[in-house]
Amino acid sequence: MANLRTHLLMAVCIGIAACQGRREDAARYDILYARTDTSTAPSQDFFHYANGGWIARNPIPDDQSTWGMANLVVEENLSRLRTICEQAAGRKAPAGSPEQIIGDYWKTAMDSLRTERDGLTALQPLFDRIDALNDVSALAPIVADMRKAGSHVLFSEWVYPDLKNSERMSYTIWQGGLGMPDRDYYLKDDSSNTSIRKAYRTHIARMLMLQGVDSSRASAAATNMLALETRMAKASRRLEDLRDPYANYQKHPLTGLPKLAASFDWPAYLSANGIKSIDSAIVGQPEYLSSMEVLLTSTPIETWKAYLRYHLLQDLSDALPERIAVAAFDFNRLFTGARARKPQWKRAITSTEVAVGELLGQRYVKEYFNENVKARYVQLVEDIRLALQERLAGLTWMSDSTRQHALVKLASMKKKVGYPDQWKDFSGMHIDTVSWVRNVIEASRWWHNFEVGKLGKLVDRSEWSMYPQTYNAYYDPSNNEIVLPAGIFTVPGLRDEELDDATVYGYAGASTIGHEIIHGFDDDGRKFDEKGNLQNWWTKADEAAFVRRAHDIIRQFDEIEALPGLHLNGKATAGENIADLGGVVLGLQSYRKTKEFRENRSIRGFTPVQRFFLGYALGWTENTREEYLRNLIQTDFHAPPKYRVNGPFANLPAFHEAFDVRPGDPMYRPDSLMVRIW
Ligand SMILES: [Zn+2]
């Protein structure tokens, strides 16, 4: 069961900047000045002007796909979490206590000798059941048990508030089951995707051979399995077509699921999955299940068996012997561009976080989260909220009736800052020192049961879908809330009080807080009301005025060719781009009210407004490998960092004025082509 952490409908936004600096001379060091590349004019490419110096001096390490601000925070957090894990492992703690769970999990994840010795024994019972399959009618309980163990095949599913009744939890079935990140990898015929498909077929055969299948059978099975997944990809909707909440919502009684796919044993599946206390499911893409039915009846059982075997091994490969983990890494690097594997301790922490990230977070905030910092950002949320309230009052394209609804929604928007008020209870998760992969499976089962246990119940609005230490933030439309974990306030190398307001309003006020608040009013978020229900509060004319503006921003991003022949997907990234543009507008409006702005002093040659724009760009300092960039453009709802800076800024007269941008400059856009939404 995919839990909320990966939920598509939430606007999850790597958004905040953090600041890094080795300060040999604190008095003269300026984090904004230090990273510029003044050989590029700001009017030519502002992203490069603001960050190019740092990027040139900081090449991407071999084990990373990107290198920038986000990575520096993540690296700092990894070493903090390592301390937490090591301390837990060094104590003797009662069974079921947080120390015992963290400590034992960490010990097995670090014990590579044991992982080698255990081999595939933990997976053998599932392999045996797959081998014994004679007919697709017996597939369903195996798919359910694989899902509980952490291997997600055939389709996706999750538990989330019913979009049309945000008080109740619902069970959603979604397209899924592919081994590559998006349908485009299967269907696009350019040379890059063609060679990736070839590499995938080789990889499937390699993984089957690692399970003992002989090479000619493995090779034939790989060809058949790739053909099967290609048909699944064809049946899947495009990335941009998954964002419309109305078009991806169809309620079906559970007893009606066989009408969509009769050959799949739904009663056995739901029962094995523990799905009860509800009588209906929301099916995101009903036509996907109908296509699945065709595939179930027309694909030989041997191909299905190869498909299941491959995915079980691939999905759990991190916790398996080196020969398997290395093979999986060799494949994954096609999408990440990483040249080397991360060291064992980092992989162990990632695994521990997936299992019990909130337990680590509980300790993390005790050690590393400063309550004064929290107070600063709680206040900043209110300042930004006020800025949007003022903007709403002055919007000329919106009627008073829609405006009133928008104001109510804004006033009701909840904020969660730092860490949850209530912590989850993990005492029922049975972690021991027997084996890493067994612990991975146990944690996956625990999470599955935790999610399924919500069905039929009222929504718990206090729950967090990110860990406190996570360097990210989100807006959840079903809860009308913004969530800002403590991790986004981590500032490697600098203390929060060392940052001037321009920097803080740019990187935190605009690119995170303003951005998240605007998600409540982007092309998706605007469809939800103040209680989190999918319910229209717009007049027809206002809706048309909004859609026109959204189309303009879609066109702007569609025009960008980020790699030769590969344009950005304006429609898929529209929500994020609307949030970026609105976030900058709100951040600047709030910043103009500060004492620092009124004093109008320049620092290191930059005016306050110039520093605000540099502060925003700071958060997007990033070097990206080409493989990963290609992956992001095909699978991510966010534009790459460079365009999250240059894209919105070209629409802002205040930016043009601050950096003397003139007609003919690449960053220039005439007033008639500037998009203004919020
Ligand atoms: Zn976002």
pLDDT tens, residue by residue, 614-626: 999 998 999 999 9
| Ranges of the chain whose pLDDT falls below 50 | 1-8, 15-27
Is residue 8 classed exposed, middle or buried when 0-12, 13-18 and 19+ CB atoms within 10 A define those classes? middle
Residue 328's contacts (CB-CB under 8 Å, 6 or more residues apart) are 207, 314, 317, 318
H helix or E strand, kind and range, residue 479: none
What is the per-residue pLDDT for 28?
A: 63
- Per-residue tokens: 170: 């619902």
Distance CA 370, CA 375 (A): 9
Return residue ranges of the chain for CATH 3.40.390.10. Answer: 4-17+31-82+348-420+464-673
Distance 448 CA to ligand 1 centre (A): 27
Cβ contact 103:85 at 8 Å: yes
**Among the listed residues 332, 329, 420, 512, the one whose alpha carbon sits nearest the alpha carbon of residue 4:** 420
Distance 269 CA to ligand 1 centre (A): 35
Distance 285 CA to ligand 1 centre (A): 24
Residue 438 backbone phi and psi in degrees, to 5: -65, -40
Distance 480 CA to ligand 1 centre (A): 14
Task: Tell me which residues have their CB within 5 A of the ion that is ligand 1.
Answer: 11, 13, 576, 579
- In eight-state DSSP terms, residue 509 is I
Q: Looking at domain 123-319, which of 1.25.40.10, 1.10.10.10, 1.10.1380.10, 3.40.50.2300 is its CATH number?
A: 1.10.1380.10
Distance 283 CA to ligand 1 centre (A): 25
Distance 520 CA to ligand 1 centre (A): 10
Give the sign of the dihedral formed by CA 359, CA 363, CA 368, CA 374: positive
Distance 338 CA to ligand 1 centre (A): 25
Cβ contact 505:594 at 8 Å: yes
Distance CA 286, CA 270 (A): 17
What is the per-residue pLDDT for 5?
A: 33
Is residue 300 classed exposed, middle or buried when 0-12, 13-18 and 19+ CB atoms within 10 A define those classes? exposed
Distance 2 CA to ligand 1 centre (A): 20
Distance 542 CA to ligand 1 centre (A): 23
- In eight-state DSSP terms, residue 263 is T
Three-state secondary-structure class, residue 251: strand
Residue 334's contacts (CB-CB under 8 Å, 6 or more residues apart) are 196, 199, 200, 627
- Per-residue tokens: 481: 């809330």
Residue count (the chain): 678
What is the per-residue pLDDT for 6?
A: 37
Distance 501 CA to ligand 1 centre (A): 22
Distance 343 CA to ligand 1 centre (A): 30
Residue 1's contacts (CB-CB under 8 Å, 6 or more residues apart) are 147, 148, 157, 158, 159, 273, 447, 448, 451, 452
Return residue ranges of the chain for CATH 1.10.1380.10. Answer: 123-319
Distance CA 304, CA 516 (A): 42
Distance 546 CA to ligand 1 centre (A): 18
Furthest C-alpha separation in the chain: 78
Distance 289 CA to ligand 1 centre (A): 30
What is the per-residue pLDDT for 208?
A: 97
What is the per-residue pLDDT for 386?
A: 98
Distance 11 CA to ligand 1 centre (A): 5
- Per-residue tokens: 230: 């290609």
Distance 523 CA to ligand 1 centre (A): 12
Residue with tokens 């899924």: 176
Q: How far apart are the first and last CA of the chain?
A: 37
What is the per-residue pLDDT for 10?
A: 60
Is residue 633 classed exposed, middle or buried when 0-12, 13-18 and 19+ CB atoms within 10 A define those classes? buried
Q: How far is CA 104 from each of CA 89, 96, 298, 361, 429, rounded to the nearest angstrom?
A: 6, 11, 46, 17, 12
Which residue(s) pair with 160 in the sheet?
Answer: 170
Distance 247 CA to ligand 1 centre (A): 21
Distance 14 CA to ligand 1 centre (A): 7
Cβ contact 196:185 at 8 Å: yes
**Radius of gyration of the chain from its Cα atoms, rounded to whole angstroms:** 25
- In eight-state DSSP terms, residue 456 is T
Q: Looking at domain 4-17+31-82+348-420+464-673, which of 3.30.930.10, 3.40.50.300, 3.40.390.10, 3.40.50.2300 is its CATH number?
A: 3.40.390.10
Distance 472 CA to ligand 1 centre (A): 10
Residue 25's contacts (CB-CB under 8 Å, 6 or more residues apart) are none
Distance 227 CA to ligand 1 centre (A): 35
Percentages (nearest 5) of helix, strand, coil residues in the chain: 55, 10, 35
Distance 244 CA to ligand 1 centre (A): 16
Distance 112 CA to ligand 1 centre (A): 38
Distance 580 CA to ligand 1 centre (A): 7
Distance CA 142, CA 129 (A): 7
Q: Where are the beta strands (DSSP E) in 462-535?
A: 474-476, 481-485
Distance CA 241, CA 244 (A): 7
Residue-by-residue DSSP string for 453-496: TTTTSB--TT--SS-TT-S--EEETTTTEEEEEGGGG--TTS-G
Distance 32 CA to ligand 1 centre (A): 24
What is the per-residue pLDDT for 20?
A: 34
Distance 635 CA to ligand 1 centre (A): 15
H helix or E strand, kind and range, residue 376: helix 371-394
Tell how far CA 647 is from the center of its chain: 21
Distance 513 CA to ligand 1 centre (A): 10
